[in-house]
Amino acid sequence: MTARNPDGPGDDLDKKTIALIDSIATRVRDSIVQGALPEIEMPVRNLANVTYDRAKGYFELGDERKVRTLTVNTARSFAQTLRLMATSRTMVQNDDFATKREVYYISKNWGDCRFDEQAESDAIMDDIEAMASVHGLSREQLRFYPETHGGSVAGRLTVIDRNPATGEAIEVDCANLGSGAYSIPRSVEHLSFRSEARFVLAIETGGMFQRLNNHRFWDTANCIIVEMGGVPTRATRRFVRLLSDKQNLPVYCFVDCDPYGFTNIYRTLKVGSGNAAHLNRFFCVPRARFLGVTPQDIIDFGLEDATHPLAKSDIKRAEDAMQNDPFIAAYPEWGAAIRQLLKMGVRAEQQALAKWGLNYVIDEYLPRKLANEKSFLP
Amino acid sequence: MTARNPDGPGDDLDKKTIALIDSIATRVRDSIVQGALPEIEMPVRNLANVTYDRAKGYFELGDERKVRTLTVNTARSFAQTLRLMATSRTMVQNDDFATKREVYYISKNWGDCRFDEQAESDAIMDDIEAMASVHGLSREQLRFYPETHGGSVAGRLTVIDRNPATGEAIEVDCANLGSGAYSIPRSVEHLSFRSEARFVLAIETGGMFQRLNNHRFWDTANCIIVEMGGVPTRATRRFVRLLSDKQNLPVYCFVDCDPYGFTNIYRTLKVGSGNAAHLNRFFCVPRARFLGVTPQDIIDFGLEDATHPLAKSDIKRAEDAMQNDPFIAAYPEWGAAIRQLLKMGVRAEQQALAKWGLNYVIDEYLPRKLANEKSFLP
């Protein structure tokens, strides 16, 4: 049952992954054979080694590299790095995968180089991942999957997957799941799509997603709805990105009107995050735009008495974003919106629209917003 | 779009819900007409008003009642109770629903009886819910839905839902979702099922669910797998309960071997929780049994070096359970298992089985356990 792919890796990315691992391993062995200390070179992963280019659309890893040389002090982490790469290679070969937690447990059979804590295996996995990213390979291609999976999807979309046992195509019609929804798997690389939808609506809360799904908003609006459930997981971001790329679809974001919604949820979806810069190129959604709730919406839709005062942490987050976030800095519209919110001193949740009736959001808010897509924040 | 059900409530439970609300409202009005102070009677919701009967299988609400009388002090909460009941009635009529957060926002248009905080609306919703539960009606029938929705489902199961717009049946084949899964909706009352499966496997972690799904364990084992994602949400518990009842299926629980897994995740799934006793009758899964990971499994499957020491909080939770939890008290097997764990001084996660290889759980652990269902803990 474990050898699902006896003929070896199925596609070009798999071949590339194995070739990369083999070339690093070969260099290490050659050094040893020649009596030299083996080295592995990896990108430095921190904000100082990050660049932001508005045209490119995501935080990008810079050129700085660190070198892990085999010494008495690094013997353990050097061995762990090689063993983890070997684990990855086996998984690619078997078309299998491991969660970060499982990777940690696999090492329990490695004798002296077992990981004592998951933080250790995570750090080395991040290093390998950063190394692979330089060659255009993501963590998912190394077969390391995150624990958390994605949000739910409904609407005018057919997801084309495959039966892992037989390889035969499986089609999931996301317009035909009733009040349920399609749950995004941990890895989405192998998925393809068919859709006539006009856009993707990425929604912060599960409650709002359920409302739009139960009322089949996606049918009327000819769209695909995605539940992010707060800051979207990697699987969700990658799913939306692939959907946007492959189907040439714009992505509209519908989240709470607060600094967390702007700079954590939306910003992460659109351009990625600072501490995982080697991943952003795969996970960002450059075509994302911010539908609402905007500070101006609070006025335009009469939500003043359904707001809450900004907490100290909201204000701090907003000020931080204006000073330090290269994404916010790149768009004056965002600076203006955040200043407006700070001046109003309040925040509003997307569910605050229920003040005007449960389905005001469907009957009024979204249609009015969608009629004026140019007003969306960048 | 809001009036999805213009002919009024569709089924008997809806009629019963409306009749209950009407009868309470009528009594209140009659009192006022007669010049008397109106009263609403509700069950007392606390542990002192709870009974546990092993044969019945869940914590049950006792007979104690409290009376909310209209006085100067209670005018606001009395009015809020009536308005919330009216909101519920409208939602039943329109076949609509509201999350707890939305209910809070709806009140923003109620003038003086608006809720200042969600805790207020939640408490009154709980009262109405407890009142309704005495008549066999759950919160979902009142159309109040929780924010959180459920886990994912895959395997040999067809879920039969309906198109909310046309009423026409929609079938979701959970064996045909590829690496994805069926995401349980917030309300599951209207679902029906078709299945030839032998059992339901309820799984604690998303990582393990994904492994079993990707390797189509449900195909080999002829079962349905459900991801709980920690303590299962109400929707997940209700879904598993309905599935177990309607299809006459046993439910096997596969969670971490620690006091939290035993007394929070498993116990909540099987018999419910103490602080929501009025709900347990709807949400408990009496046919649930504990497959593993048991303390004995740590020995039988050689996991000793993939364990972690029990934390202080684990020990406290275990001791509390043995002293105060009527469910643990009712089953000597559980007392013995917890004592064994305390003696060993360690806990083991379900992913610890990866120590023997990523798919040891599929190839060895689960088949060996399932061959001896009588060894499951009650």
At B2 the pLDDT is 37
Give yes or no for a contact between A15 and A9, defined as CB atoms under 8 angstroms apart.
Answer: yes
Give yes or no for a contact between A253 and A202, defined as CB atoms under 8 angstroms apart.
Answer: yes
3-state helix, strand, coil in chain B (%, to 5): 50, 20, 30
Q: Of B4 and A105, which is predicted with more confidence? A: A105
Side-chain half-sphere CA neighbours of A336 within 13 A:
6
Q: Does A51 touch chain B (CB under 8 A)?
A: no
B150 confidence band (pLDDT: 50, 70, 90): low
Q: How many residues in total does chain A contain?
A: 378
Give the mean model confidence (pLDDT) for residues B296-312: 93
Partner-chain contact B355 A106, CB within 8 Å: yes
Give yes or no for a contact between A47 and A324, defined as CB atoms under 8 angstroms apart.
Answer: no
pLDDT tens-digit map of A76-98: 889 999 999 999 999 999 888 88
A34 confidence band (pLDDT: 50, 70, 90): very high
Q: What is the mean pLDDT of chain B?
A: 88
Give the mean model confidence (pLDDT) for residues B253-275: 89
pLDDT tens-digit map of B30-44: 999 999 989 888 888
At B262 the pLDDT is 95
Q: Which of B224, B221, B241, B225 is nearest to B233 (CA)?
A: B241
Partner-chain contact B306 A108, CB within 8 Å: yes
Collapsed DSSP state (helix, strand, coil) of residue B55: coil
Q: Which residues of A touch B99 (CB under 8 A)?
A: 207, 210-211, 351
Q: Of A281 and B246, which is predicted with more confidence? A: B246
> Which is catalytic among the residues A52, A58, A104, A105?
A105
b/e string for B35-49 if b means 16 or more Cβ within 10 A? eeebebebbbbeeeb
Percentage of chain A modeled with pLDDT above 90: 50
Q: Which ipTM score applies to this complex?
A: 0.72
Q: Of A60 and A43, which is predicted with more confidence? A: A43
Give the mean model confidence (pLDDT) for residues A11-38: 91
Partner-chain contact A185 B180, CB within 8 Å: yes
- Residue of chain A nearest B100, judged by CA positions: A207
Partner-chain contact B178 A162, CB within 8 Å: yes
Q: CA A213 to CA A207: how far, in whole Å?
A: 10
Give the mean model confidence (pLDDT) for residues A118-143: 86
Partner-chain contact A220 B1, CB within 8 Å: yes
Q: Does A15 touch chain B (CB under 8 A)?
A: no
Q: CA of A31, closest CA in chain B: separation in Å?
A: 31
At A1 the pLDDT is 33
Q: CA of B210, closest CA in chain A: separation in Å?
A: 7
The single-letter DSSP state of residue B135 is: T
pLDDT at A3 over 90: no
| Angle made by CA atoms B153, B348, B244, in degrees to the nearest 5 | 30
Interface of B with A in 348-377 (CB under 8 A): 349, 351-359, 362-363
Q: Which residues of A touch B91 (CB under 8 A)?
A: 358
First-last CA distance in chain B: 48
Partner-chain contact B358 A2, CB within 8 Å: yes
pLDDT at A343 over 90: yes
Q: CA A231 to CA A256: how far, in whole Å?
A: 12
Concerning whether A331 is annotated as a catalytic residue, the answer is no
pLDDT at A314 over 50: yes
A274 confidence band (pLDDT: 50, 70, 90): low
Mutation to test the B interface, candidates A105, A187, A213, A364, most B Cβ within 10 Å: A105
At B47 the pLDDT is 60
Q: CA A18 to CA A89: how far, in whole Å?
A: 6
At B240 the pLDDT is 96
A316 confidence band (pLDDT: 50, 70, 90): very high
Tell me which residue in B4, B183, B359 faces A1 most closely, judged by beta carbons: B359
| Angle made by CA atoms B300, B226, A239, in degrees to the nearest 5 | 115
Q: CA of B197, closest CA in chain A: separation in Å?
A: 19
